[in-house]
Chains A and B, each alone.
Chain A
Amino acid sequence: MSGQRTVAQGTLATPDPPGAGALIEVAGLHVDYGFGQDAVHAVVDVDFSLHRGEVLGLAGESGSGKSTLAYAVTRLLGPPGLITAGQVRFRGSVDMLSATEHELRGLRWNDIAVVLQASMNALNPVSRIGAQFADVLHAHRPRMSRAAMRKRSGELLEMVGIPADRLRSYPHELSGGMRQRVLIAMALALDPAVVIMDEPTTALDVVTQREILQELTALRDRLNFAVLFISHDLSLLVEIADSIAVMYAGRLVELGPAGDVYRAPRHPYSLGLLGSFPPMHGPHKRMQGIPGSPPDLRTPPAGCAFNPRCRYAFDRCDADPHPPLFALGDGRAAACWLQDGTETVPEALAGKTGVRP
């Protein structure tokens, strides 16, 4: 099977209930900023799928394309974003990329909800919380009565741990953490199947972050929605995600169940990234991050995008094109020439738990 390109599509998430297909399937997605010669390739050839009740953590640093990917999937990417190739299917039947505005509007919030980065600033400062909930509910359920909307809004607030009487408050009367909870409640207002969250807790302090994530996990257990959780904090994702996808320079470089990726990464970037989080226990050991910095997407390196910083780089890494995602069994995949089946894999990347240089 050497050199054979295997696309790890639909085989990667943790086992889901039988008969449930993927909620979102992305195949070969390419997203650029700008058009023509100077276009920047922000997302290159990404495949992944999201299943019901699954929490997929999308990890990456600046320039990885993780936010671009999330917005492109929902066609919310602003100008000069442009989807240049690929397929995005919702529930197997709706083609997101050729859907009309009407169809998209029907999908958005009803089936797919989004919580944006620092969205605690997305609340209208001159409008009460209750009114903003009413806006959301009215837009998608125009026949809902005022009383029913108030009841539903109250339920949603209680669901995220805020007393229902806060519906009468203005956003500035709530703390940052509470505002973020309000946004999450709004996202869940119509019982969506998928919630996409882009760094929802990054601007909050550690304790509030932990509280919100605990509530989110409880809600997920109750309502069984899928979550696409985007974060640069890999150690956080390991704790809350079922599976993790690591992105670098616009490409998916590793995919697999969260615990497995943490204990035995198969891609040098994941290995390096995991080695960038100082541990909370154990004797003091000098650690290195990853030398260099993420590439400028206007002038990406030749061959594998990670090769200038990679400890294990060898001749194929800049001679051959960027490696595809190789399926490694057990739901694991890594985009590295070392994992294509023909090379000797260094011990740190061989999938043996606990071996970390």
Chain B
Amino acid sequence: MPRLLRSPKILTGLFLSVVFAVLAIAGPFLAPYSPDSHASTTIGIAQPPSAAHLLGTTQTQQDVLSQLLVGGRSTVLVALVAGVVATVLAVGFGVAAGYLGGWADDLLSMLANIFLVLPALPLLIVIFGLLGKGGSPNDLLIGFIISATGWAFGARQLRAETLSMRSLDYVDSARIIGERRWRIMAFEILPNLIPVVATSFLFTVIYGVGTYTALSFLGVINTSHWSWGTMLYWAQNAQAAQDVHLEWWWFLPPGLAVGLFGTGLALLNFGIDEYVNPRLRSAGLTGRRARRAGLPRRSRIGMTPVLPTQGAAR
């Protein structure tokens, strides 16, 4: 574990993810104003950042920072729910299809392929359109619906991994000992797939953020339900990016927030990859100390580095 924390990628990714996780929990409590409240009803121009409004205001004098914090909870929550549900589905379908084979595999694979082929965004627009814009949408429900379009890719990945593990000696040994099939899937195969599952989860969360933001931006989801996407919707509506005076404080924060959140998760993913695959690590050969000792910056195939020393052979 300690080695995990030495990688700069993991540290950065972890830091970013934790920041946003904290935001999701504490955001609405930290918001100085309610995101809907209008600071004034007379001014019609968005105000740049000031002492009273750290990120400025929207055209209708709503506090951008408050919107960001409240919207953050919704966005992060939806993304997490989408990630968790999609991953559970992917594990269930993928491992079962891979291990059981035969007609079970055919059936489950067919289902996964159907969901994979469905165009996600148009489908979601249709679904949310049908659900109607009335009432306040439930973040959990949104997460569930988004997850339905995001589980199939992971399922195929896990099925492939399970297939390659099925003929491993220790799985054969478990069969010979007489373990039941579900136990083999759950306790012999799945624990070895944790890195793949983790990667799949993180990717799906990123997918969830992107999709939810896109749907809110398009106005498909109730636009009074605050999320980063909704902020962008209103900013777009007010042409904040096209005006003569660019109202950068309005569209930049939510956009950056989505970007940073995604980056944090992606870095975590790369870090996990590096940890799991020792060949991606360079064992200290390219660090600062090595370069100070005279080693080349990059190892080249066919030119094994030689440590420069003063004399010849000892």
Contact = CB atoms under 8 A, between A and B. Distances in A.
Interface of A: 27-29, 33-36, 38-39, 45, 71-72, 75-87, 97-98, 101, 104, 108
Nearest to B281: A80
B113 interface: no
Given A75-B304, A97-B306, A104-B303, A80 B282 contact: yes
Contacts of B305: 81-83
A101 B303 contact: yes
B307 A83 contact: yes
8 contacts: A34-B285, A35-B285, A36-B290, A38-B284, A72-B304, A80-B299, A84-B307, A101-B300
Contacts of A78: 299, 301, 304
A76 B300 CA distance: 10
Contacts of A108: 302
A79 B295 contact: no
A95 to B, nearest CB: 9
Contacts of A87: 312-313
Contacts of B283: 33-35, 38, 79-80
Residue of B287, B289, B295, B312 with highest tally of chain A CB at under 10 A: B312
A98 B308 CA distance: 9
A35 B289 contact: yes
B295 A35 contact: yes
A85 B307 contact: yes
B314 A86 contact: yes
Interface residues of chain B: helix, strand, loop or mixed (majority): loop
B176 interface: no
| Interface residues on chain B, size class | 20 to 34
Residue of A77, A80, A83, A101 with highest tally of chain B CB at under 10 A: A80
A82 B307 contact: yes
Interface in B158-212: none
B306 A83 contact: yes
Given A36-B284, A80-B283, A86-B314, A71 B302 contact: no
Given A27-B313, A86-B314, A87-B313, A79 B285 contact: yes
B314 A28 contact: yes
A5 to B, nearest CB: 11
A172 to B, nearest CB: 21
B114 interface: no
A33 B295 CA distance: 13
A34 B290 CA distance: 10
B51 interface: no
A36 B302 contact: no
Q: What 9 A-B pairs are tightest by C-beta distance, nearest first? A: A34-B283, A80-B283, A79-B299, A28-B313, A77-B304, A87-B313, A27-B313, A83-B306, A75-B304
B309 interface: yes
B304 to A, nearest CB: 4
A80 B313 contact: no
A39 B302 CA distance: 21
Contacts of B300: 101
Contact of B304 (A27, A35, A71, A86): A71
B30 to A, nearest CB: 43
A112 to B, nearest CB: 13
Contact of A98 (B284, B306, B314): B306
Contacts of B312: 87
B293 interface: yes
B304 A80 contact: no
Contacts of A29: 313
A85 B309 contact: yes
Nearest to B314: A28
Interface in B209-236: none
Contacts of A81: 304-305
Contacts of A77: 304
B287 A76 contact: no
Given A35-B285, A75-B303, 9 more contacts: A35-B284, A35-B289, A35-B290, A78-B301, A79-B285, A80-B282, A87-B313, A101-B302, A108-B302
A82 B295 contact: yes
Interface string B275-288: 00000001111010
A38 B6 CA distance: 14
A80 B295 CA distance: 12
A66 to B, nearest CB: 16
Given A75-B304, A98-B306, A86 B289 contact: no
Contacts of A28: 313-314
Nearest to A84: B307
Contacts of B302: 75-76, 101, 104, 108
A48 to B, nearest CB: 13
A46 to B, nearest CB: 11
Contacts of B284: 34-36, 38-39, 80
Nearest to A47: B313
Nearest to A81: B304
